[in-house]
Amino acid sequence: MTSSKRIVLSSDHAAIALRQTIAEHIAAKGWEVVDIGPTSPESTHYPKHGAAAAERVVSGDCALGIILCGTGQGIMMAANKVKGIRCGVCSDIFSARMIRAHNDANMLSLGARVIGEGLALEIVDAFLDTEFEGGRHGLRVDMTTELEA
Ligand code: RB5
């Protein structure tokens, strides 16, 4: 059975340091962190890392995922190609709360070249500490999922 507090992290080369800081932060909050790398600073390709993290989520291995690249945009686009993923890029706390509350996002994407460490950790907290509200938002999430068919 999937732990509801098991989370996958991945990034490309542009975000390794911030990813590792976030991993420590999340672990300190009591989450089981599955950091699938990479650890090498060599240039790599964000689509494969976004897809690998997304697969951990849709398979049920992890309840949520956090992915990063320079802008957060490319890896988000890749993750959203995996059926069942709802991933948003956030550079502010309000959006991080709302993608959970209204969109039932199961992945968060961050841009390591866009935001600093302090804001990134507050965004992560907002994402992890907010529950999906359901109700009318559930209908809209279902309508979005139907677009995958
Ligand atoms: C890598 O240089 C950069 O393009 C990547 O990290 C990301 O920002 C793409 O969306």
- Which residue out of 69, 87, 90, 137 is catalytically annotated? 69
Query: Is the Cβ atom of 109 under 6 angstroms away from ligand 1?
Result: no
Query: Mean pLDDT over residues 1-9, rounded?
Result: 81
Query: Mean pLDDT over residues 93-118, rounded?
Result: 98
Please give the DSSP secondary-structure letter assigned to residue 38.
-
Query: Is the Cβ atom of 46 under 6 angstroms away from ligand 1?
Result: yes
- Nearby residues of 92 by Cβ (< 8 Å), 6 or more positions away: 123
Which residue carries 């992560």 as its tokens? 124
Query: Is the Cβ atom of 73 under 6 angstroms away from ligand 1?
Result: yes
Rounded distance, CA 102 to CA 92, Å?
16
**Assigned architecture for domain 3-146:** 3-Layer(aba) Sandwich (3.40)
Rounded distance, CA 20 to CA 40, Å?
12
Model pTM greater than 0.95?
Answer: yes
Could you report the per-residue pLDDT of 110-132, keeping only the tens digit for each? 999 999 999 999 999 999 999 99
Could you report the per-residue pLDDT of 25-41, keeping only the tens digit for each? 999 999 999 999 999 99
Is 25 a catalytic site residue? no
Rounded distance, CA 29 to CA 113, Å?
25
Element (H or E) spanning 9, and its range? Answer: strand 6-11
Hey, what are 65's tokens? 């995922």
| Residue 109 alpha carbon to ligand 1 centre in Å | 12
> Could you tell me the residue ranges of all domains in the chain?
3-146
